Amino acid sequence: MLESGLTNAINSILFILRIVIQMISPQIIRSSRKSLSLSINENADLVVRAPHRVSDDEIQKFISEKSAWIDNQQRLIKARLKDNLNQYSSLQCLYLGSLYPLKIDNSAVEPISFDGHVFTIANVNRETISLPLKSWYKKRFIEVALPRLSYFSDKHKLKVNQVKVKEQKTLWGSCSSKNNINLNYLLIMAPMKVIDYVILHELVHTIHKNHSAKFWQKIETIMPNYKDARYWLNENGYKLRRL
């Protein structure tokens, strides 16, 4: 009787686990990779990366083993999403790491202006604020970041071919095999130390194409406190993407 009761309890637990796993509804990406991995995207969805040879049952078992981590990460990202909604609804702009109030003034002459304390946008409603703001952010990023790139490039003899500034969904910057660098202008919302870090990160890729020990040693030689900037970006980067 005891063995039968234990079997029934185990079967009940397995049934509940299957329901929970189905509720999670992960996105499964298969490739030639060698191991399983989990991540939570910016919408709090679970993404599973798996080798072709791994069965669906093995994937479900892996998910169930990591259920506590999944729940914790999804709660964190959902809280961040709520934080972004609160920020937008209260009409605030993030610029160089600080939040500033945003005022809509249809009598203003310029489409958007910033006096160091307040952002003022003219002739828009709440639904179209992001368009002029993105344009302003891009212009300011070019004015602020490109001189910094030239400074570090010249000082540390890190040669660059071309530089492009654009909005990227998943990257803050990139460096091609031909030393062409892309920078995400949404970084203008981050503190200056973070902008410097991303610029240096891509510049160092002109001599070290991977993230080897030599790569990080070079970064630290130029910017000893780079880990602080990297931490800020990991913790706050989501705020820059929700414009």
In order along its 243 residues, the chain shows pLDDT tens digits of 555 556 655 655 554 555 444 445 788 888 888 888 888 876 778 888 989 998 988 988 889 888 888 888 888 877 766 665 555 445 788 999 999 998 887 777 787 889 999 988 876 665 567 778 888 999 999 999 999 999 999 999 999 999 999 988 778 999 999 999 999 999 999 999 999 999 999 999 999 999 999 999 999 999 999 999 999 998 888 888 776
- Cα dihedral 68→74→76→81 (10° resolution): -170
Q: CA–CA distance from 81 to each of 93, 205, 231, 235 (Å)? A: 16, 32, 19, 13
The side-by-side arrangement of strands in the sheet containing 98-104 is 92-95, 98-104, 119-121, 112-114
Copy the structure tokens of residue 193.
């130390």
H-run or E-run covering 13:
helix 2-24
User: Residue 188 in contact with residue 141, Cβ under 8 Å?
Assistant: yes
Structure tokens at 94: 């993030």
Q: Do residues 242 and 130 make contact, with C-beta atoms less than 8 angstroms apart?
A: no
The model's pTM is 0.67
Structural domains of the chain, ranges and CATH numbers in brackets: 2-85 (no CATH), 129-240 (3.30.2010.10)
Exposure of 109 by Cβ count < 10 A (0-12 exposed, 13-18 middle, 19+ buried)?
exposed
